Amino acid sequence: MHAEHHLFGFQPDGKLLYYSFGSKNKTFNPSLNIWRLKRDFPAFGIFLSLWSKQPRLMQPKTPQVQAVNEVFSNLSAGRSVKREQLQKIAFLLLSLGPGLFLKAMQSHLEAFSGVLTPQYREVLRLVDLDLPARSELLLHACNPDLYLWIPPGPVRPTRLLVCFGTKHNSLNTPRPIAHYELARLGVGLLYVGNRPNLDPGDGFPGLTLDASAEQINSIARSFGFTQLYGLGTSLGGYAACCYAKRLNLKRLLNFSGFKPDSKTPKPSTSEFFKLEGYPMQRILSVLSKSDPTDQDILKSYELNGFVTPREWVESATHGSFSAAIIEGKLGIYMDWLFADEEEK
């Protein structure tokens, strides 16, 4: 059995674009197909060329695919590779996330160490990449507004983790890599995308925040999800708080969440992150003890009365989700998130 992948895109005219892979769900009529996606999103075509073992999905080798093959061929043969080439390949693979080549990066991590940030290097070293190929984040390169991933199994889970990413749609670490950690939770995953230059607290294009939340709720219900949980990183922490009440999230993990203008005091805590009365004890805010950005965020929280339970990572980095992986704390935070009701 394989994971299900569902892609949703909201249009200003109200039209909902939809594509699915590995699903028999008939609730939504597909308005996209793989050929249009490959045409509209060249990076998706590159991903398929790297990922696919099925000849029918293969396309003529692109320059990027040829470059990847050349670099790893040279590394395997013990030949030197220029730093510029390593940088290009590292950026491509971290952006797209095909497991086969991420594993190759792991095996040649020493060669790539000089072109990766210390944080990314450590995360890549630690993350277990042994996820079935069809359970990887296949449609990430299509930049969807919503990407619903459902784990394989005879029975669909009823719990859904709604993930709100950074301004650049990462989770403080490339989203395809973070997915390897989240995919093992045994729950559905809904990745909510950010549009450039749009405030995620305003909702999707052409929709209000309330209408956007209702779209998410409707999609969740149609796939049998009855319990929703939240996770947000950086700007996504702010977005997650904006949706928390509207999605009736059971609990929410807020990794260094902030809004760019959050240093300006708001008339009320509720308006600060648009909480609309959502109980703050159901939000766990994870921050760095020593990172200057996170310390500024903490001051902003206190200034605006956003006082929630808190946990801390030791790393001096704004990427508290990545730090949680590196410091072995992510499992603890997930245990808190999915604690049974009687434990709350």
pLDDT, tens digit only, all 344 positions of the chain: 789 999 999 988 878 999 999 887 778 888 999 999 999 999 999 999 888 754 344 455 678 888 998 999 999 999 999 999 999 999 999 999 999 999 999 999 999 999 999 999 999 999 999 999 999 999 999 999 999 999 998 898 999 999 999 999 999 999 999 999 999 999 999 999 998 888 999 999 889 999 999 999 999 999 999 999 999 999 999 999 999 999 999 999 999 999 877 766 776 666 788 898 999 999 999 999 999 999 999 999 998 889 999 999 999 999 999 999 999 999 999 999 999 654 43
Question: What is the pLDDT at residue 259?
Answer: 85
For residue 127, the one-letter residue type is V
Question: What is the pLDDT at residue 13?
Answer: 83
> Domain residues of the chain, as ranges?
42-141, 143-343
CA distance 124 to 275: 35
CATH topology of domain 143-343: Rossmann fold (3.40.50)
Contact 147, 193 (CB under 8 A): yes
For residue 115, what is the DSSP state?
A: G
Distances (CA, A) of 136 to 15, 243, 331: 28, 26, 20
Question: What is the pLDDT at residue 61?
Answer: 66
> For residue 162, what are the β-bridge partners?
190, 230
The H-or-E segment that residue 86 falls in is helix 83-96
Contact 235, 259 (CB under 8 A): yes
Question: What is the pLDDT at residue 15?
Answer: 86
Neighbours of 83 (CB within 10 A): 11
The H-or-E segment that residue 304 falls in is none
Question: What is the pLDDT at residue 66?
Answer: 86
Angle between helices 118-126 and 99-107 in degrees, nearest 10: 110
Distances (CA, A) of 81 to 93, 188, 201, 315: 16, 40, 44, 31
- Find all residues with CB under 8 Å of 270, minimum gap 6, and list them: 276, 277
Q: How many residues does the chain have?
A: 344
CA distance 257 to 167: 11
Question: What is the pLDDT at residue 146?
Answer: 98
Q: Which pair of tokens denotes residue 284? A: 């766990």
Decide: residue 177, CB within 10 A, 0-12 exposed, 13-18 middle, 19+ buried: buried
What does the longest C-alpha to C-alpha distance in the chain come to? 63
Q: Which pair of tokens denotes residue 277? A: 């009365």
